[in-house]
Amino acid sequence: MAAAARVVAALALLITVVSSWSAPASAAGTGPCDIYASGGTPCIAAHSTVRALYGSYEGSLYQVRRSSDNTTRNIGMLSAGGHADAAAQDSFCAGTTCVITVVYDQSGHGNDLWYQGSSVVPGSSQSSPAKATTESLAVGGDKAYSLYINPGNSYWRDGHLTGVPTGTGPEGMYMVTSGTHVNGGCCFDYGNSETTRKADAAGAMDAINFSTSCWFGGCSGSGPWVQADLEWGLYPGGSQSWNPNQRAFTNRYVTAMLKNNGTTRFAIKGGSAQSGGLTTLWDGGLPSGYNPMKKQGAIVLGSGGDCCKPGGGANLSAGTFYEGAMVAGYPSDATENAVQANLVAAGYGTSSGDSGAFPGGYHSLVVGNDGLCLDVFGNTSAAGAAIDQWSCNGQSNQQFQFVAGSNGYGELQAQNSGLVVGVSGGSTAQGSPDIVQQARSGAASTMWKPVQQSDGSWSFQNQNSGLCLDVYGAGSNQGQQLDQWPCKNAAGTNQDFIPR
C-alpha cells in the first residue's frame, strides 16, 4: 500500500472511531503508534504512564518502587489497549511513598526509560527518580498518574542498537506535556540524545524541548514554548533569531511535535491535547551548522543530553510527561494531524467521577473572607504537617488539586508533597484545629466533596464527619490552622475557597 493510501486508511479508521464514540474511555482499537505505522513511519519507542499507545498493547506501562520495603510493582492497564490501572498503584503505595523507576517501551524495541541514578543507568549523586503520586489526572473517565519531573529527575536509554535513528536518519516524535508545570532550567527534553551523555556537537541531539528557556535571547513573551534541542542550543525555528511564528502553550495538556529529515529540513508543531488541531511553528531549513545531523541514538526524557552521568551534575528542569513516541522516518502532516485527533479523542481531563465540576489541575485556594491561601505550613513534605492559611505566594505548598473518587467525593492533594488533606486521627469532632496532610489511604477522613457557592467559590464537606473544611475561629491571621465545622453553605465565609 502506498504511503498516501495508508494515511487515508488511518484517517478513515480514526473518523470511524470518533464518530461512533459512546464514551471516551476506550481507544476503540487504535492508538498513536497504529496511526504512525499506517503512515509508513513506525514507532521505535513509545512511552506513557497514562495509556496504551497501540490498540493491542497489553503489557506494563511503568514500574513503581515503594519506600517502606523497596519492593517494586509493574503498573499495567485496565484492559488491552486501554488506560493505566491507577488503583493498582494506589493499593501498592498506600501508607507510604512511591517513585517511578522505569517507563516501559510499548513498541517492542526494548527502549525502556530508566531513571538516571538507577542500577540500569548509573547517574550522578544528585539524580533521583520522580515521585509517583505527585499528579493524578483523569483520561477518558479513568484515573491515571503523570511522570512529574522536578529538578534532579530524568530518564535515559541508549537505543542506538535498538531502532533509534542515528546520523542523518529521519525521525519524528511527539509528547503530551503540560503548560502548568514548567521552568527555564536545562532542559525538559524528550527525544534523540547523546549516547555519551556529553554535549558532543551541533546536531548530536534531536529532541523536543518544552520550557520557558529563551536560549539565544530576544524571545517574545514568557512561554512556555515548543522548541527543538539540537544540542548547543534550543531552537525556536531555523536560526538563533526569535521565530515570530512561535507562541506560548499554557494549556493544562499540550501536544508537542518535532520531525527532522536529518539533512535539510525540520518542523516544530504544538497544540492543545484536549481540542483543536496543530499549529505549525516552523517548517523549513535546519539551522546553520546542523546540516547534516549527527544523531547518536540515545533517548532522553526530562533533561538535556549532557546531564546526569556519574559526576555529571543533575537535571535542572521541571515538566510533566503523560505520553510520547519516537518514529523512524519523516511523518507526513496528515499522519501528525491524525495523531493529534487521537490525542483529543483520548479525553485528557475528562473524568467520570462526580467532582461537582470542580476545575481540574493544581490551583491556589483563596479563602473567601480574608484573601489568604490554603497552605501546607512550613512548605514541608512531612506527613502530619498542619494545613493553615498564609499570604498567597504561588509556591507548590499552596497548590492543590482535587482528585475525584466516587459519589462526588475525592482528595485534595498538595503539589509539594503529593500528600492529601485529612482530619487527624479520623476525628468527627468540630472546632479542633486538626487538619493536616497525610499519606493517601482512601480513608473517609481524607475525602471531601466540593460544593459550589453562589459566587463561584467552593466549600469542601468531609465524607467521614459531614462537616466542612473551615478556618479555625474564622481568624484572618497568617498561620491560622484549619478545622472542620458545620457547613454554612454561604459565599464569602471562612469555609469558601476560590481556585486560582
Instruction: Give the pLDDT confidence of 345-395 residue by residue, as tens digits.
Output: 999 876 543 334 677 778 899 999 999 999 999 999 999 999 999 999 989
Helix H or strand E encompassing 341: helix 333-346
231 is catalytic: yes
- Inform me whether the pLDDT recorded for 21 exceeds 80: no
Find the mean pLDDT for residues 249-261: 95
Calpha distance 286→261 (Å, rounded): 9
pLDDT of residue 24: 30
Calpha distance 441→328 (Å, rounded): 43
pLDDT of residue 350: 67
- 46: amino acid identity, one letter: A
384: left (phi over 0), alpha (psi -120 to 50) or beta: left
> Annotated catalytic residue: which of 189, 231, 375, 388?
231
DSSP strand E in 205-318: where? 206-211, 225-229, 234-235, 254-260, 265-272, 279-285, 298-301
> Annotated catalytic residue: which of 105, 206, 229, 306?
306
Are 219 and 242 spatial neighbours (Cβ–Cβ below 8 Å)? yes
**Level-2 CATH architecture, domain 365-499:** Trefoil (2.80)
283 is catalytic: no
Are 376 and 437 spatial neighbours (Cβ–Cβ below 8 Å)? yes
Burial class (CB in 10 A: 0-12, 13-18, 19+), 428: middle
SS3 93: helix
Which tops the pLDDT comparison, 334 or 28? 334
For the chain, what percent of residues have pLDDT higher than 70? 93
pLDDT of residue 488: 86
- 141: amino acid identity, one letter: G
Find the mean pLDDT for residues 295-310: 97
Partners of 203 in the β-ladder = none
Calpha distance 328→91 (Å, rounded): 38
Find the mean pLDDT for residues 405-432: 91
Enumerate the domain spans of the chain.
Answer: 3-346, 365-499
Rounded to a whole number of angstroms, the distance between the first and last alpha carbons of the chain is: 52
SS3 143: strand
| Cβ contacts of 419 within 8 Å, gap of 6 or more | 381, 383, 413, 437, 438, 439, 440
pLDDT of residue 202: 97
- Inform me whether the pLDDT recorded for 3 exceeds 50: no
- Inform me whether the pLDDT recorded for 70 exceeds 90: yes
| Mean pLDDT value across the chain | 91
Partners of 321 in the β-ladder = 147
Would you say the CATH fold of 365-499 matches that of 3-346?
A: no
Find the mean pLDDT for residues 472-482: 93
The CATH number of 3-346, from 3.40.190.10, 2.60.120.200, 1.10.10.60, 3.30.565.10, is 2.60.120.200
Find the mean pLDDT for residues 479-488: 93
Calpha distance 235→49 (Å, rounded): 28
SS3 175: strand
Find the mean pLDDT for residues 262-280: 96
- Inform me whether the pLDDT recorded for 53 exceeds 80: yes
The tens digit of pLDDT for each residue in 206-217 reads: 999 999 999 999
